[in-house]
Amino acid sequence: MSRLIQMSQPDIRDEDIALVAQALRSNWISLGPFLDRFERSFADYIGVDHAVAVSSGTAGLHLCMCSAGIAPGDEVITTPFSFVASANCILYERAMPVFVDIDETSLNIDPKLVRAAVTPRTRAILPVHIFGQPCDLDGLLPITDEHDIPLIEDACEAIGAEFRGRKVGTFGKAAVFGFYPNKQITMGEGGVIVTNDPKWAATFRILRNQGRIEMGSWLRHERLGFNYRLDEMSAALGLSQLARLEELLHRRDKVASMYAEQLADIPGVTLLSPVETTTRLSWFVLIVRLSEGINRDQVIRHLQERGIPSRTYFSPIHLQPYFVETFGFREGDFPVAERVARSTLALPFHANMPPADVDYVATGLRMAIESATV
């Protein structure tokens, strides 16, 4: 008998609701005290000097491009295996995303290929800590140092993740975290940019508020900016969620461990695992790879019939219709990313997932694999 399993689920508690209600009752619902408190708490958690909250992770990435001075004709090296925002933010400034293929084990950008991709027009490197797995920062940082260009970490999926015992978000010139409802913590939407550079932090604050200098005259806009502000209600929810982030990460670890045990003996299924340099993987989604010979579409249909949703993560950015039509990318350009994309599948996953649901999903996957193997 089938049952309905949720793909993801935010963890919203009474204390979250109470703090949001407090923000609403204050009648100060934009650029107020909850935003200040959230930014200070977030900077302290990551271990940086400045945190600037914005309306989304995408907005944060865009402001990083602006602060780095990315301009038409410039190049920014990034990964084709990601959510499309990590490339779109480059295009917003009329620059060119230069895709580099990925490492098949970590699923992150391959530093060896990054070095070969640097040209005189390269102005920044934008790696993505995919699925909460930190990039090979040992391989990337020497390249940015050698060419005197900024490393901007897309950590939107990786809050709490650690590379050799150090939190992601502390390695680059700036880093961005995102808080969509399926993330480790959520504000509904929203994002945060972190940096140790006071000038970049000041620029972020100006740009998010339509180009208005914070202490400037009313409605005086010193430069072109954007409406990327984060409201007080979202900041209050973020503050409450951040206070129990470690608990939520621990519970997600436990669910991932249950999955690892249940999936270990299913032929043709491999669970994403921490690589050697990852001292903490921050579980964003639960990703498995299916071996060649398994019909993934058939697996998805079989799971759906049992009330189990699943998702393909990610379709390569360079093969998205806009990128094919605009830049002429085609299949075969980045073979590792394409091979990985054809084989990955996200299973239902969230911090409150009970063991019975994990068992039901694993059993359903085993049956689906048996019926979909050719």
CA gap 361, 359 in Å, rounded: 5
Residue 159 has pLDDT above 60, yes or no: yes
> What's the pLDDT at 215?
64
pLDDT band for 1, please (50, 70, 90 cuts).
low
Per-residue pLDDT, averaged over 74-88, amounts to: 98
pTM: predicted TM-score of the whole model, two decimal places = 0.97
Residue 216 pLDDT class (50, 70, 90 cuts): low
User: What's the mean pLDDT in 332-337?
Assistant: 98
Instruction: Report CA 261 to chain centroid distance, whole Å.
Output: 26
Q: Tell me the average pLDDT across 205-213.
A: 94
pLDDT, residue 214, reads 73
Terminal CA-CA length for the chain: 26
- Distance between CA atoms of residues 99 and 81, nearest Å: 9
Distance, CA of 110 to CA of 107 (rounded, Å): 9
Residue 232 confidence (pLDDT):
98
- pLDDT surpassing 90 at residue 274: yes
Average pLDDT of span 227-254: 98
Residue corresponding to tokens 């690892």:
260
Confidence (pLDDT) at 4 = 86
Helix (H) or strand (E) holding 54: strand 50-54
The percentage of the chain sitting over the pLDDT mark of 70, rounded to a whole number, equals 98
| Sign of the dihedral defined by the CA atoms of residues 291, 297, 301, 304, in that order | positive
pLDDT at 135: 98
DSSP 71: -
| 165-170: long-range contacts, CB 8 A cutoff, minimum separation 24 | 165/279, 167/46, 167/47, 168/129, 168/134, 169/46, 169/48, 169/194, 170/46, 170/47, 170/48, 170/194
d(CA 184, CA 116): 34
Q: pLDDT digits over 342-369, tens only?
A: 999 999 999 999 999 999 999 999 999 9
Per-residue pLDDT tens for 97-151?
999 999 999 999 999 999 999 999 999 999 999 999 999 999 999 999 999 999 9
Average of per-residue pLDDT values in the chain: 96
Give the distance, in angstroms, between the CA of residue 147 and the centroid of all CA atoms in the same chain.
Answer: 26
Q: What are the structural domains of the chain? A: 14-242 (3.40.640.10), 246-372 (3.90.1150.10)
**Does pLDDT of 213 surpass 90?**
no
Q: Are 226 and 208 in contact (CB under 8 A)?
A: yes
Residue in this structure with the two tokens 């503050």, named with its chain if needed: 239
Give the pLDDT confidence of 170-196 residue by residue, as tens digits.
999 999 999 999 999 999 999 999 999
pLDDT of 227 strictly over 80? yes
